[in-house]
Structure 1
Amino acid sequence: MFPVPAQRLSRELVIKKSRFIAWAAPVTSRDEALQLLAEARREYPDAGHHCWAYVIGNPQSATSAAMNDDGEPSGTAGKPILSVMQHKGIGNLVVVVIRYFGGVKLGAGGLVRAYAGATEKVLSELPLKTEQPVTVCILNMDFSLEQLLRHWLHTEGGELQKVDYSESVQLTVAVPNAKLKSLEQFCLGSGIAFQLFADGLNE
């Protein structure tokens, strides 16, 4: 389990007349992260820089992470944004920091502090929720066992994703990893055919 954004949030920091507008949002893929970046560029087309970083999946073992300085000196924008994100331990997160130059050069150290500060400001106020790693399974059973399985899912926090009816019933379910062994034992005792489908994250 790990924290993820519960919603989008925007905060602004002004340092020596330069404006740093930080956006934070939940994402589950690189494409979603880049969509938010494109939105920021459309909303602030005259800004000098749109720097960003994202972390997909569990922040302790991210499935994907990236950063970009967008024209700022190397290592002064994307890296401090990502560093703050990792320090906060928030997964499935993208942060875009939009900068309007105020006429006063900040220097490399000043830029690092400014981008980190803008990221810290938005993330310190970002509402969070808990994400649970889950495993998707396919279960085959007689019609008489369907309600029994549905009851198990309801009481144990599983999610029914798909139902197919033919000569028997096939349910595709997402189960918290902590409950996976319990589901296996339940299926074994009930005569339900159990098959792991894929590992994923509850979205």
Structure 2
Amino acid sequence: MNNLPYLIPARVHTFEEEIKKSLFITQLAHTDGVEQAKAFVSRVKGEHPSARHHCWGFVAGRPGDSMLFGFSDDGEPSGTAGKPILAQLSGSGIGEVTAVVTRYYGGIRLGTGGLVKAYGGGVQQALKGVLTLEKKIVTRLSLELDYAMVPVVQVSLSQFSGVEVSTYYQERVSMVVEIEQRYVESFSQIIVNKSGAKVKINHLDN
């Protein structure tokens, strides 16, 4: 379900490994969307301009959303870098994540199997050490209600860990609240039932 929370990286995490004299530097970062993912790849390339390869993969949305997958072998043999990187990311349960594996070539060829292991393994190790946060999918609702219903709404809101964003007291009360999408239907039903359908509830665009 697209309204359920999911994990995202809390900050950039780096894992380094030397394999047969080649140095592999894996960096993981939170990237919200394809443009941020590409920008992170460019940033890493700028940090290591003399490296032979910068292979990468990203999951630019929620985990499992294959419409927002991307990867590149960046000059390594086809299928030996980008796909193993993406395979680790897509199986991690973490969303909005980009991995860039920078390789400083050490003069010894690893072969296709060795490359798959090096690139996929580096990301696997980096994922073990990355700190994550839970991203909640929230939405805003506008409510029009009588004064007597304000405490009822506030109590119901707190039951779903919602937030009262703003409240204006005029002839009736206008309130804007923020709540996780997965709770909107249940919250709305409680308010409708307790007010006898006298509270107007509208969705606001985020």
Matched residues in 2 for 1:62 and 1:150: separation? 39
Q: 1:140-189, CA deviations, whole angstroms, 9 ceiling, x for partnerless residues?
A: 314735564344333312245x5485965251523240x22221113313
Return the offset for 1:42: 1.5
1:109-148 paired onto structure 2 within 5 Å: 109-132=113-136, 134-142=137-145, 144=147, 145-146=149-150, 148=152
| Residue in structure 2 matching 1:169, options 160, 174, 183 | 174
Return the offset for 1:14: 0.8
Matched residues in 2 for 1:147 and 1:41: separation? 55
TM-score (norm 1): 0.83
- Supply the RMSD in Å over aligned alpha carbons: 2.5
Is residue 159–residue 175 contact of structure 1 (8 Å, CA) maintained in 2?
no
For the pair shown, the structure with the greater C-alpha radius of gyration is 2
Partner of 2:104: 100
Q: 1:110-168, CA deviations, whole angstroms, 9 ceiling, x for partnerless residues?
A: 11111011111101111223334x352432314735564344333312245x5485965
TM-score (norm 2): 0.82
1:87 aligns with 2:91: yes
Matched residues in 1 for 2:31 and 2:16: separation? 21
Partner of 1:55: 59
1:24 aligns with 2:28: yes
Aligned-partner SS, 2:91: helix
CA shift in 2, pair 1:150/1:38, >3 Å: farther
Partner of 1:194: 201
Q: 1:19-43, CA deviations, whole angstroms, 9 ceiling, x for partnerless residues?
A: 1100011122112112211221121
Matched residues in 1 for 2:46 and 2:78: separation? 24
Matched residues in 2 for 1:113 and 1:44: separation? 22
Instruction: Structure 1: state its 5+ residue gaps.
Output: none
Matched residues in 1 for 2:163 and 2:98: separation? 27
Runs of 4 or more consecutive aligned structure 1 residues displaced over 6 Å after TM superposition:
none
CA shift in 2, pair 1:4/1:194, >3 Å: same
